[in-house]
Chains A and B, each alone.
Chain A
Amino acid sequence: MAQVRVTVDGVNYADDVEPRMLLVQYLRERLGKTGTLIGCDTSNCGACTVSLNGQSVKSCSVLAVQADGTEVTTIEGLARDGQLHPVQSAFNECHGLQCGYCTPGMIMAAVDLLGDNPDPDEHEVREGIEGNLCRCTGYQNIVRSVQRAAQMMKPGSGVTSEPAPVAGGN
């Protein structure tokens, strides 16, 4: 057994884990953070994306012991005082999901992208979420959601809740 001390969504944890335990298993099975999903066995899908010390990672490709001493944010830690994170709101408004399975990972990847590039064009959004697959192929609205979130997060943008256009709209 190895010890892992980690802060997840603002709460400190110290646990003994088997070295082979993946971070995603630790989050889901030990901490009950089932908002972080497992979508594939190949590291391709990105459904398990979380933030590790402020950078997006695929938590299926990190050992829990490697997260020792780090700060992890999952999809469950994004909302503040009952208020959705702007990226969550934007996915809601722009219907950036169909079945919803990829959504937690997409949102975590988008949060990372917007932290790095607050005003991405469409191509930059597509490159930024390259590590996340939507098996419904709902990318049009996902890209719109990320751009809408960028708009909402702009300081002093004054943007309210007016919905952005969505595919098949009008």
Chain B
Amino acid sequence: MIPSKFDYVKPASVDEAVRALVDAGEDAKILAGGQSLLPVLRLRLAAPSVIIDLGGIPELRSISEDGDRIAIGAMAPHHDVMRDGLVTQHVALLAQATATVADPQVRHRGTLGGALAHADPAGDLGAVALALEAEFVIVGTSGTRTVTAADFFVDYFTTAIGEGEILTQVRFPKYTGWVSHYEKFNRTAQAWSMCAVAAALKVDGGTISEARIGLTNMGTTPLRAPGVEAALVGQAATAEVVRAAAEHATEGTAAPSDADAAADYREHLARVLTGRAVLTAVG
């Protein structure tokens, strides 16, 4: 099907984009990589009157080192993120999860910022951003503000990005030397995660000194699994410890039931995948 009619604006700077967004009013939509938006427009599930394409702002694609953080432009395509040397060295979990997103064609176009701003709870990158305590840089008419991942994800497809605001950058603390793994369970190739677990751990002399666990599609937003993290820290990274810790994976979750999986099956998956994610990470 063909999308409904819309006006198209391609600003050359973030300031211009914010002005265009304010001028267009609440019926405007930001176009990042378009790999979620275009299908939605085609199915006419959305019919914005104005599309503001961020594709004409090259600086939004940059990936750079900024002190103790890796700063990734919101328009950096998945394909670039998963292969970038800074990302693979300092934020390996993000590279690992990004490599599982959709398929090569979608990863060429889809962007980190677009995926996070879309905030589909079945999307793979929210759990990673949350677990790794990323910061979100948001620009609007009143300037720039930074929001923590914990505050960014508000609800189903809803984030802290306000009216007239644009997500411009996502900043990840460095996790240099940590081990990590993203364990995803889906029905077919390129399908959304029924459930997935993001795990990053710091292991010193066989003992887990820090742990970050994020859950995909176990609620209306990405979730952390603090019970699992607490059960892992200070323990030896053995299979027995990991399996016991994984039993805490569903604490505080509200798994959805849909055509792919009932809530209790997702809860089972969360426990099993947590075990696999941590054990694979610690190798």
A residues apposed to B, CB below 8 Å: 2, 18-22, 25, 41-44, 46, 49, 52, 55-58, 60-63, 65-66, 109, 112-113, 128, 130-132
- B8 within 8 A of partner (CB): yes
B: number of interface residues (CB 8 Å): 30
Given A41-B42, A43-B35, A63-B34, verify A58-B106 contact (CB < 8 Å): yes
Given A46-B105, A57-B105, A58-B106, verify A2-B38 contact (CB < 8 Å): no
Q: A20-B3, A63-B8 are in contact. List 10 more A-B contacts (CB 8 A).
A: A19-B7, A19-B8, A46-B105, A56-B108, A58-B105, A60-B38, A62-B109, A130-B103, A131-B102, A131-B190
Given A25-B2, A130-B190, verify A46-B103 contact (CB < 8 Å): yes
Asked whether B103 lies within 8 Å of A131 as measured between CB atoms, the reply is yes
Q: Whose C-beta in chain A lies nearest to the C-beta of B79?
A: A55
Per the bound structure, the CA–CA distance linking A57 and B109 in Å amounts to 7
Asked whether B8 lies within 8 Å of A65 as measured between CB atoms, the reply is yes
Per the bound structure, the CA–CA distance linking A122 and B20 in Å amounts to 48
Q: Whose C-beta in chain A lies nearest to the C-beta of B103?
A: A131
Asked whether B108 lies within 8 Å of A55 as measured between CB atoms, the reply is yes
Given A61-B109, A130-B189, verify A19-B104 contact (CB < 8 Å): no
**29 pairs, A vs B, C-beta closer than 8 Å:** A18-B5, A19-B6, A19-B8, A20-B3, A20-B41, A21-B2, A22-B3, A25-B2, A41-B42, A41-B43, A42-B39, A42-B43, A43-B35, A43-B38, A49-B105, A57-B109, A58-B105, A60-B38, A60-B42, A61-B35, A61-B109, A62-B38, A63-B31, A63-B53, A130-B189, A131-B104, A131-B106, A131-B190, A132-B103
Q: Which 4 A-B pairs have the closest CB atoms?
A: A131-B103, A19-B8, A55-B108, A20-B3
Per the bound structure, the CA–CA distance linking A115 and B66 in Å amounts to 33
Q: Which residues of B contact A56 (CB under 8 A)?
A: 104-105, 108
Q: Which residues of B contact A60 (CB under 8 A)?
A: 38, 42
Contact of A66 among B2, B55, B106 (CB under 8 A): B55
Q: Which residues of B contact A25 (CB under 8 A)?
A: 2
Given A66-B55, A131-B102, verify A41-B1 contact (CB < 8 Å): yes
Q: Which B100-156 residues have C-beta < 8 A from chain A?
A: 102-106, 108-109
Q: Which residues of B contact A58 (CB under 8 A)?
A: 105-106, 109
The proximity string for B residues 1-38 relative to A, scoring 1 for CB distances below 8 Å and 0 otherwise, is: 11111111010000000000000000000010011001
B5 to chain A, nearest CB (A): 6
- B198 within 8 A of partner (CB): no
Per the bound structure, the CA–CA distance linking A20 and B4 in Å amounts to 7
B78 to chain A, nearest CB (A): 11
A100 to chain B, nearest CB (A): 20
B115 to chain A, nearest CB (A): 14
Asked whether B105 lies within 8 Å of A19 as measured between CB atoms, the reply is no
Q: Which residues of B contact A22 (CB under 8 A)?
A: 2-3, 38, 42
A96 to chain B, nearest CB (A): 18
Q: Whose C-beta in chain A lies nearest to the C-beta of B42?
A: A41
- B203 within 8 A of partner (CB): no
Per the bound structure, the CA–CA distance linking A43 and B106 in Å amounts to 9
- B51 within 8 A of partner (CB): yes
| Of B4, B5, B6, B104, most A-chain CB atoms within 10 Å | B104
Contact of B104 among A20, A43, A109 (CB under 8 A): A109
B56 to chain A, nearest CB (A): 9
Q: Whose C-beta in chain A lies nearest to the C-beta of B3?
A: A20
Q: Whose C-beta in chain A lies nearest to the C-beta of B2?
A: A20
Q: Which B69-83 residues have C-beta < 8 A from chain A?
A: 79
A24 to chain B, nearest CB (A): 11
B182 to chain A, nearest CB (A): 15
B108 to chain A, nearest CB (A): 4
Asked whether A19 lies within 8 Å of B51 as measured between CB atoms, the reply is yes
